[in-house]
Amino acid sequence: MENQEKKPLEKVCMICAKGSLEDVYATLVMANGAVMEGIETKVFFTFFGLDGITKKSMNHLHTATTGNPAMRMPGGLPFPTMLGGLPGVESAVSGMMRKQMEELDMPPVDEFLEMITAGGGEIYACKLAIDMFKLKKEDLSDEVSDILTIGQFYEMCDGDRTQIIFT
């Protein structure tokens, strides 16, 4: 007989490199979900993903209304790309997405980060991207515990029941 012993995940390391509403939330939902399951959780934000942990932008993330083939009108009809480019459309769509998430008890980004760290999850920012966007530690959410190089982050991702997820 094969050995059927289960080997549950012990650590999840996530890398978020994109800054749209859905990319950041996908990362936050997965990170929070891991913390709630008792899995050690570390999240590394880099490039445009930094918008998700920058005080000024984190609660005002947007979703792409152009170049997004999965975009639909509220009734399910295709969303014309031309429409997505009109002034105000993108912010209305992003606002609507945020409202629908709020109905499902998904918190704003700042509160979501607090939920993750409250359970022991750790949030990091990428040094290279911080330098590139000319940001400082003070610009970031207080939940960010450190600014690291990717090498330092990988060092934290040791262990044979560890997974790295790139969102």
Question: Which residues in this chain contact other proteins in the complex, by CB under 8 A?
Answer: 29, 32-33, 36-38, 104-107, 111, 114-115, 118-120
Tokens 């991207």, located at residue: 129
The least distance separating other proteins from the CB of residue 34, rounded to whole angstroms, comes to: 11
29 vs 71, beta carbon nearer other proteins: 29
The least distance separating other proteins from the CB of residue 61, rounded to whole angstroms, comes to: 17
If phi > 0 it is left, if psi is from -120 to 50 it is alpha, else beta; for residue 78 that is: beta
End-to-end Cα spacing for the chain: 37
Task: Tell me whether strands 144-148 and 11-16 are parallel, antiparallel or unpaired.
Answer: unpaired
The least distance separating other proteins from the CB of residue 97, rounded to whole angstroms, comes to: 16
Three-class secondary structure of residue 91 per DSSP = helix
The least distance separating other proteins from the CB of residue 84, rounded to whole angstroms, comes to: 28
26 vs 135, beta carbon nearer other proteins: 26
Q: Are 94 and 17 in contact (CB under 8 A)?
A: no
Report the helix count and the strand count for the chain, using DSSP H and E.
6, 5
The least distance separating other proteins from the CB of residue 152, rounded to whole angstroms, comes to: 26
112 vs 124, beta carbon nearer other proteins: 112
84 vs 119, beta carbon nearer other proteins: 119
56 vs 161, beta carbon nearer other proteins: 161
Task: Tell me whether strands 11-16 and 162-166 are parallel, antiparallel or unpaired.
Answer: parallel
Give the pair of three-digit tokens for residue 85: 């480019």
